[in-house]
Amino acid sequence: MSSKGSERSSSVPPSKPKALRCPVCDQIFSSNARFCPYDGDRLVEAPEWNPEADPLLGKTIDNRYKVLSVLGEGATGKLYKVQHAALNRLFALKVLRRDVARDAAMVERFLREAQAAAAIGHPNIISVSDFGSIAVDGPGKVELPYFVMEYLSGASLAALLRREKTLSPARAGPLFLQAASALAAAHAAGVIHRDLKPANIFVSKSGDREFVKILDFGVAKIEGTGRLTKVGMVTGTPDYMCPERVLGQPIDQRADIYALGAIMYQCFTGRTPFEAEIYAEVLKKHVSEAPRPIEQVVKDAKALGAFGPIVMRCLAKNPKDRFETGSELAAAIEAALAPFQVAETKRRSAEKAKPGRSSSMRGLLGGALGAIFVLALAALGAWLLQKASEKPEPPPPVETVPSAVEAPKQSAAAPVPAPPVELRQPAGGEVARPPAGAVPASTRTAPQPVKTTPSAPTELVNPWVGRDGR
């Protein structure tokens, strides 16, 4: 019995851990990751991590934000889904991790970067609306700073690439254009992202259009004190890290240009510019190797249009060979996107000209109804025309009912009228002729003789006219 039970349990695959932890920096990651993106160490299981056991769940922060759930945990902070008590609106609230919150310089940098993100005010950068601090009990009471951002619905570019592998230039181009415009606004405000990657580019949809929001501007990856800056450690994501950052040299806005170029390379080819078994080897390739030309990686180089040279220029080793600003990059992307937009417009016009099955059925039904309507109008017109052409029926004959006829005054010489003549049909078929001097009768109908009374006046009664003359 026990052996059967053990056999049954052994056939069930082991459950996937909820989260993984880096043994060096002690940061938590999803179970899909294998290595820590910050120091390259292999991740281990973190069974103790339970987002449902978070002490802030169900509490209201600063009498305004009720914590509903944990959205995730990053390098320096934890993200929560909250609801504003008065506005009844959802927000995302990020709290600095407790293990780095004791560093005053880290706290100051956290808030300063949050204020900088709020000051950019660009539609393609996530907006920051509030910030404050949370008092946490325990040994040595700590104030954890937090800031509040807009709550987004959609998916990250990383999630889209996991699902679709690659994106066409016609679809990815508008996303890159928005991202480059956002970088231009941030750089103009003196903010450098320093860790741009697909996970930090959020894509939301409105109708048939996709919109970009860049997340974690200078906040998620903060260079400060402690173990984050220990010797030999490089913060950031190696797959999108520029050579000067790997070498520890000063960086400027062109570091973000390089990162966006690596993202574009991945979207078009389905792979990052440099791949290796360990992250240290990836960093080495960023410094010493040129990426394989994108035209040699994609299936159809012509399908890229002008995007190929743009991507390769972004990935130049020397910052001077890259686009100088986000605005310059955005202009190049817009020019490269124009032919695809024209082709897309023609494609949609062709689709409208050749509707699908459902559209054809709707067209046939509409045509049938239109034909019925036209036939009905024609029948109605014919009927009206026929009515108009018909002669109106004469009114019924007016019957004259004389009540009395006043005989005119006769003069002495007036002749006496002849007596009425009655016509008869002879038996032999001949028509009898009246005697000489008689008044001929009508050939159609013989009127009935009217007897007159000389004493009364004549009054004619018309059935169509009332007695009062109306």
pLDDT digits (tens, 9 = 90+) for 270-316: 999 999 988 899 999 999 999 999 999 998 889 999 999 999 999 99
Confirm whether 289 is domain-assigned: yes
Point out the least confidently predicted range of 244-258, 296-310, 417-431: 417-431
The Cα–Cα gap between 116 and 130 comes to 12
Higher pLDDT, 216 or 324: 324
Asked whether residue 147 falls in the same domain as residue 158, the answer is: no
Mean pLDDT is highest, among 32-36, 189-193, 288-292, for 288-292
Confirm whether 388 is domain-assigned: no
Confirm whether 128 is domain-assigned: yes
Point out the least confidently predicted range of 2-11, 235-244, 378-387: 2-11
Give mean pLDDT, residues 256-278: 96
**Nearest Cα to Cα of residue 94 among 216, 177, 3, 7:** 216
Please pick, among 26, 62, 103, 195, the residue that the annotation labels catalytic. Answer: 195
Asked whether residue 209 falls in the same domain as residue 145, the answer is: no
Does 213 score more than 70 pLDDT? Answer: yes
pLDDT at 231: 42
Q: 386 — phi, psi (to 5°)?
A: -65, -40
Domain boundary among 128, 151, 174: 151
Asked whether residue 168 falls in the same domain as residue 131, the answer is: no
pLDDT at 318: 97
pLDDT at 114: 83
pLDDT category at 190 given cuts 50, 70, 90 is: confident
pLDDT at 406: 47
Asked whether residue 128 falls in the same domain as residue 159, the answer is: no
pLDDT category at 266 given cuts 50, 70, 90 is: very high
Domain boundary among 151, 174, 203: 151
The distance of Cα 193 from the centroid of its chain, to the nearest Å, equals 29
Does 422 score more than 60 pLDDT? Answer: no
Which tokens hold the place of 257? 């240009």
Those residues whose C-beta lies under 8 Å from the C-beta of residue 157, and which sit 6 or more positions away, are 175, 198, 199, 201, 202, 203, 263, 267
Asked whether residue 338 falls in the same domain as residue 271, the answer is: yes
Give mean pLDDT, residues 99-125: 81
The Cα–Cα gap between 260 and 354 comes to 39
Asked whether residue 157 falls in the same domain as residue 231, the answer is: yes
CATH of the domain at 144: 3.30.200.20
Confirm whether 254 is domain-assigned: yes
Domain span at 274: 153-348
Point out the least confidently predicted range of 69-83, 218-232, 259-273: 218-232
Does 352 score more than 80 pLDDT? Answer: no
Give mean pLDDT, residues 436-454: 50
Confirm whether 464 is domain-assigned: no
pLDDT category at 463 given cuts 50, 70, 90 is: very low
Asked whether residue 65 falls in the same domain as residue 102, the answer is: yes
**pTM score:** 0.64
Domain count for the chain: 2
Does 466 score more than 80 pLDDT? Answer: no
Point out the least confidently predicted range of 45-54, 87-96, 267-276, 330-339: 45-54
pLDDT at 359: 53
- Residue 189: is it exposed, middle or buried by C-beta count within 10 angstroms (0-12/13-18/19+)? middle
pLDDT category at 396 given cuts 50, 70, 90 is: low
| Catalytic residue check, 195 | yes
Give mean pLDDT, residues 351-356: 66
pLDDT at 431: 47
The Cα–Cα gap between 230 and 24 comes to 11
Asked whether residue 138 falls in the same domain as residue 167, the answer is: no
Confirm whether 6 is domain-assigned: no
Confirm whether 369 is domain-assigned: no
Share of the chain above pLDDT 90, in %: 40
Give mean pLDDT, residues 418-446: 49
CA atoms within 13 A on the CB side of 428: 3
pLDDT at 371: 65
The Cα–Cα gap between 251 and 191 comes to 12
Give mean pLDDT, residues 85-91: 95
CATH of the domain at 278: 1.10.510.10
CA atoms within 13 A on the CB side of 172: 26
Asked whether residue 226 falls in the same domain as residue 161, the answer is: yes
Domain boundary among 348, 375, 403: 348
DSSP 44: E
DSSP 277: S
Asked whether residue 90 falls in the same domain as residue 114, the answer is: yes
Asked whether residue 299 falls in the same domain as residue 216, the answer is: yes
pLDDT at 37: 57
Asked whether residue 112 falls in the same domain as residue 173, the answer is: no
Confirm whether 420 is domain-assigned: no
pLDDT category at 5 given cuts 50, 70, 90 is: very low
